[in-house]
Amino acid sequence: MPDDQRVLIVTGASSGIGAALARAAAGAGYRVAIVARRAERLEEVARAIREGGGTVVSIVGDVTAADMPARIVSTALSSFGRIDAVVNNAGGGALGGLLEQTDAAIEAQWQVHVVGPLRLSRAALPHLEATRGQLVFVGSGIARVPLLNYGAYAIAKAAIRAAATQLRRELRDRGVAVSYLDPGLVATEFHKAMGIERANDVRAASPERVARAILRGIARRSAVVNAVPLHTAGATLGEWFGTLADSFIISRLTPQRAAALPSPPPPVIVSSPSVTLSPSSFDSAQDDITTLRTGSVEGRQAPTFEATLEPVARRMERVKLPVQFLRDALVPDATLELNTLAMQWAGMPNKNERAALREALDALAAGGYLELLADETWKVTRGADA
Any domain includes 192? yes
In this predicted structure, which of 35-39, 203-207, 222-226, 302-306 has the lowest mean pLDDT? 302-306
What digits encode the pLDDT tens for the residues 221-265? 999 999 889 888 888 888 888 888 788 778 777 777 765 544 444
Any domain includes 182? yes
Q: Are residue 163 and residue 198 in the same domain, yes or no?
A: yes
- pLDDT of the residue at 42: 94
- pLDDT of the residue at 200: 66
Domain that holds residue 295: 268-380
The residue among 73 and 96 whose pLDDT is bigger is: 73
Q: Are residue 280 and residue 227 in the same domain, yes or no?
A: no
Mean pLDDT of 68-78: 96
- pLDDT of the residue at 44: 95
Which of 224, 252, 280 is the last residue before a domain boundary?
252
In this predicted structure, which of 20-34, 40-54, 106-120, 295-309 has the lowest mean pLDDT? 295-309
Q: Are residue 103 and residue 215 in the same domain, yes or no?
A: yes
Q: Are residue 86 and residue 196 in the same domain, yes or no?
A: yes
pLDDT tier for residue 199 given thresholds of 50, 70 and 90 = low
Any domain includes 259? no
Any domain includes 174? yes
Question: Does the structure show a pLDDT above 70 at 98?
Answer: yes
What digits encode the pLDDT tens for the residues 313-362? 888 888 889 888 888 888 888 888 888 888 888 877 777 788 889 888 88
Question: Does the structure show a pLDDT above 60 at 210?
Answer: yes
Q: Which CATH number is 184's domain given?
A: 3.40.50.720
What single-letter amino acid sits at 130?
A
Which of 190, 224, 252 is the last residue before a domain boundary?
252
The residue among 193 and 381 whose pLDDT is bigger is: 381
Q: Rounded to the nearest 5°, which phi and psi values hold at 82?
A: -160, 165
Q: Are residue 201 and residue 326 in the same domain, yes or no?
A: no
- pLDDT of the residue at 343: 82
At a CB cut-off of 8 Å and minimum separation 6, what does 249 contact?
A: 145, 147, 148, 238
Q: Rounded to the nearest 5°, which phi and psi values hold at 373?
A: -95, -40
Q: Are residue 197 and residue 296 in the same domain, yes or no?
A: no
What's the CA gap between 13 and 6, in Å, rounded? 18
- Stated pTM of the model: 0.69
Three-state SS letters, the chain: CCCCCCEEEEECCCCHHHHHHHHHHHHCCCEEEEEECCHHHHHHHHHHHHHCCCEEEEEECCCCCCCHHHHHHHHHHHHHCCCCEEEECCCCCCCECHHHCCHHHHHHHHHHHHHHHHHHHHHHHHHHHHHCCEEEEECCHHHCCCCCCECHHHHHHHHHHHHHHHHHHHCHHHCCEEEEEECCCECCCHHHHHCECCCCCCCCECHHHHHHHHHHHHHHCCCEEECCHHHHHHHHHHHHHHHHHHHHHHHHCCCCECCCCCCCCCCEECCCCCCEECHHHHHHHHHHCCCCCCCCECCECCCCHHHHHHHHHHHHHHHCCCHHHHHHHCCCCCEEEHHHHHHHHHCCCCHHHHHHHHHHHHHHHHCCCEEEEECCEEEECCCCCC
What digits encode the pLDDT tens for the residues 163-178? 999 999 999 999 999 9
- Could you give the number of structural domains in the chain? 2
Q: Are residue 242 and residue 295 in the same domain, yes or no?
A: no
The β-bridge relationship of strands 276-277 and 268-269 is antiparallel
Any domain includes 260? no
Any domain includes 142? yes
Percent of the chain with pLDDT over 90: 45
pLDDT tier for residue 284 given thresholds of 50, 70 and 90 = very low
The residue among 381 and 351 whose pLDDT is bigger is: 381
- pLDDT of the residue at 107: 93
Q: Are residue 123 and residue 147 in the same domain, yes or no?
A: yes
Q: Are residue 68 and residue 190 in the same domain, yes or no?
A: yes
In this predicted structure, which of 173-177, 216-220, 272-276, 355-359 has the lowest mean pLDDT? 272-276
Q: Which candidate in 30, 150, 153, 369 is catalytic? A: 153
Q: Among this protein's residues, is 153 annotated catalytic?
A: yes
Q: Are residue 99 and residue 161 in the same domain, yes or no?
A: yes
Q: Are residue 244 and residue 309 in the same domain, yes or no?
A: no
Which of 220, 252, 284 is the last residue before a domain boundary?
252
Mean pLDDT, rounded, of the chain: 83
Closest among 103, 80, 1 to 34, alpha carbons compared = 80
Any domain includes 263? no
Percent of the chain with pLDDT over 70: 85
What digits encode the pLDDT tens for the residues 362-380? 888 877 888 887 778 888 8
Mean pLDDT of 294-298: 39
Any domain includes 262? no
Q: Are residue 206 and residue 278 in the same domain, yes or no?
A: no
